[in-house]
Amino acid sequence: MSPMRYRTAFRLARSRNRLPFPFRSRPHSSESRIQCRPEPRSSFGIAFDIDGVILGGRAPIGGSPRALRKLYGASGTLKVPFLFLTNGGGIPESRRAAELSEVLGVNILPSQVVQGHTPFRNLLRRYENELIVAVGKGEPALVMSEYGFKKVLSLDEYASYFKDIDPVAQYKMWRTKQALDCSSHLKELVPRYDVYSDRVSAAFVVSDPVDWGRDIQVLCDILRSGGIPGWENGNQPPLYFAADDLEYQAAFPSQRLGMGAFRIALESIFNRIHRSTLEYVSFGKPNPFVFKNTEALLAELQPSQFDDHISESGCSQSHDFKTLYMIGDNPLVDVKGAQQAGHPWFSILTRTGVFKGKDNHKEFPADMVVDTVEEAVDFILKREGTS
């Protein structure tokens, strides 16, 4: 294909596949090479959960590196479109892709990583130039900045501008060196924005909060004052959560409290101290639109999408997958989400994370239960006749 034809086809294909609301990945120059190779299109795709399926903490589990390698052809090209669909996050998708590539030994593209906060980029038009705060572990403000938000502060930084907002801060001996350095220079801190008169337009819980007590306090301050801590009551600014998992499986043997648990704590307290109940929006699995959008993202990973499927009108042919597999460890999140999304989703439950039952889950039974992700991939390839 000539460079000229490629550019035209690429543009047409992207505009045809545009969806009204769901978030979309952005094209990456390094990905176009893979997308344009004349590989046969796949009638199926796979979405992998990460925690409890691919990784246990930071280490691969369930034969995940071997399982993923089976999805590439001999020349290293992507044979089966797949992506990671996780409620986790806290770092930009590009960095998460690089980390996964290193740990798993395959080349993961940023567009193959859908994190809980990825849908936040769809709110850019509304808040692009508004002051917003980003909450959670990792680098929540960087995540939002990379989506294009221009006036974003982490809750850590925002709170540091309000003297005595956390009355027990001095007792937090566990604080990291970085945080201590920051507070020791508090007098020299000059806010990047006028946080004392500029209202916070929205709060985004990007990843699991670290200091629940401080974060609940400051979020309550922001939300009940109408956007400026210390002010009288005002209308609650919008509040967004990247996910609503009550618990998740990390490296510790039993489950850990997730963002949904934080939401319950914040909501319970806010509703006791404020005249109106807390309003919020949660993204992430099992939200059905996340699965709908994943279907569109997987279609974009199809190998020959831009080559030989251009109709006479110049538009690419739409591609419907016969089956999309969701491989997860959490029945209430992964299986429930796939079930609610309906056709063409097929749920596979592994026993390496939240679910450890002998048989199927009672409330949200998966279409298939296996021990590990490698077993799941072997099952899929055999079922699809590509093993």
The residues of the shown chain that bind Mg ion, judged by CB under 5 A, are 49, 51-52, 329-330
Closer to Mg ion by Cβ: residue 219 or 349:
349
Which is it for strands 256-257 and 247-248: parallel, antiparallel or unpaired? antiparallel
Instruction: State in angstroms the smallest separation of the CB of 350 from Mg ion.
Output: 9
Question: Which residue has its beta carbon closest to Mg ion?
Answer: 52
Instruction: State in angstroms the smallest separation of the CB of 343 from Mg ion.
Output: 23
Closer to Mg ion by Cβ: residue 136 or 286:
286
Closer to Mg ion by Cβ: residue 51 or 156:
51
Q: What are phi and psi of 177, to 5 degrees?
A: -60, -40
Q: Cα(206)–Cα(243) distance, rounded to whole angstroms? A: 8
Closer to Mg ion by Cβ: residue 52 or 60:
52
Query: What string of DSSP letters covers 201-241?
Result: -EEEE-S--S-HHHHHHHHHHHHHHTSSTTSPP-PPPPEEE
**Per DSSP, what are the bridge partners of residue 345?**
324
Instruction: State in angstroms the smallest separation of the CB of 150 from Mg ion.
Output: 33
Q: What are phi and psi of 291, to 5 degrees?
A: -75, -40
Q: Cα(371)–Cα(362) distance, rounded to whole angstroms? A: 17
In this structure, the number of other CB atoms found within 10 A of the CB of residue 198 comes to 14
Closer to Mg ion by Cβ: residue 100 or 132:
100
Q: Cα(325)–Cα(335) distance, rounded to whole angstroms? A: 10
Q: Looking at this protein, which amino acid is placed at residue 110?
A: P
Instruction: State in angstroms the smallest separation of the CB of 86 from Mg ion.
Output: 7
Instruction: State in angstroms the smallest separation of the CB of 51 from Mg ion.
Output: 4
Helix intervals (H) in the chain? 3-16, 29-35, 64-69, 93-104, 124-127, 140-147, 155-160, 177-184, 212-225, 259-273, 288-300, 336-341, 373-383
Closer to Mg ion by Cβ: residue 92 or 337:
337
Instruction: State in angstroms the smallest separation of the CB of 117 from Mg ion.
Output: 16
Closer to Mg ion by Cβ: residue 52 or 56:
52
Instruction: State in angstroms the smallest separation of the CB of 192 from Mg ion.
Output: 36
Instruction: State in angstroms the smallest separation of the CB of 284 from Mg ion.
Output: 11
Instruction: State in angstroms the smallest separation of the CB of 134 from Mg ion.
Output: 23
Q: Is the preceding peptide bond at 286 cis, omega within 30 degrees of 0?
A: yes
Closer to Mg ion by Cβ: residue 56 or 119:
56
Closer to Mg ion by Cβ: residue 307 or 329:
329
Upper half-sphere CA count for residue 177 (Cβ side, 13 Å): 0
Q: Looking at this protein, which amino acid is placed at residue 189?
A: L
Give CA angle at 33 (42, 70), nearest 5°.
Answer: 45
Cα–Cα distances in Å, from 161 out to 6, 136, 339? 51, 18, 46
Which is it for strands 44-48 and 323-328: parallel, antiparallel or unpaired? parallel
